[in-house]
Amino acid sequence: MTEPFMLDLHTYLERLGYSSAPPPTLDALRELQERHTAEFPFETLASMLRVPVEVEPAAIQDKLLRQRRGGYCFELNRLYLLLLQALGFDARGLTGRVVMGGPEDALPARTHMLVLVTIAGVRYITDVGFGGMVPTGPLLLDSEAEQTTPHEPYRLTLVDGTYTLRALVAGGWRAMYVFDLQKVADIDYVVGNWYVCTHPESPFLGQMIAARTGPGLRKTLNNGSFAIHRLGQASERVQLQGVDEVLRVLREEFGIQVPEHPERREIIERLIAGA
């Protein structure tokens, strides 16, 4: 019989810089989302190493809070949802289709998880697991106006029951993902995650991707290319030259303790050469 999951709320809040639990308010939600994207990095090292990703809450908690790792949406947003619910927020999970970098009207698989929060009857989406373009503040769902965050502005549009999230990047509105409000069951996360970490066409399989936010900046790693994007400034990019340099950047810039694996160096070397 499986032991019931217990969220380690004390350690989770401590990692986010809290000495006591914040109240379930909009101001607290804003602060939680900004702190979470800065503390827990987005990373695909498990799928880079072709190690199956577990999305049971106990496994995610162990990875994020004990192993000093990050994860992707089905890990970051799933534990974040449990945190919000433990703090008293009216919150539930949603799934979406990533269209960033492709046509907006495409219908790829539901490979993204985000969270819907209702505060005093007003609905917001909050997301801590969308890689290098993760929103760093909650967004009012029922508005098509431009909305500010600690980083880029975002906006939502609604057509025939489907919402599209766009970010203002380099002077243009770029679509990130589309989603709806249909009820989601735990098995939906399991199925979506299974595709992301095992399907040959998954964009994460065999790839080294990491992202983390900071005050006025974003850090990204795509295989051997490390970049720092500062608001209103040109991006700084550097091509990393060796495995040890990659491991240092992952550790020092992203706060990731890279897992041991017998083919780790060989895989990273191949990705650097390919970049």
Residue 119's nearest CA partner among 104, 137, 140 is 140
Beta strand pairing status for 225-230 and 42-43? unpaired
Structure tokens at 88: 């008293």
Q: On the CB side of 75, how many CA atoms lie within 13 Å of its CA?
A: 28
241: pLDDT strictly greater than 60: yes
Q: From CA 100, how far away is CA 45, in angstroms rounded?
A: 21
pTM for this prediction: 0.96
Structure tokens at 241: 């030259």
Structure tokens at 57: 């809450």
**Whole-number percent of the chain with pLDDT over 70:** 99
Q: What is the pLDDT of residues 167-211, one digit of tens each?
A: 999 899 999 999 999 999 999 999 999 999 999 989 899 999 999
Q: What is the pLDDT of residues 61-118, one digit of tens each?
A: 999 999 999 999 999 999 999 999 999 999 999 999 999 988 888 888 999 999 999 9
Q: What is the pLDDT of residues 143-168, one digit of tens each?
A: 999 999 999 999 999 999 999 999 99
Q: Which fold is adopted by the domain 9-200?
A: Arylamine N-acetyltransferase fold (3.30.2140)
Q: On the CB side of 122, how many CA atoms lie within 13 Å of its CA?
A: 9
Q: CB-based contacts of 112: which residues, under 8 Å, 6+ apart?
A: 73, 95, 96, 97, 98, 129, 130, 177, 179, 192
> Burial of 80 by CB count in 10 Å (0-12 exposed, 13-18 middle, 19+ buried)?
buried
Return the active site residues: 73, 112, 127
Q: Are 47 and 25 in contact (CB under 8 A)?
A: no
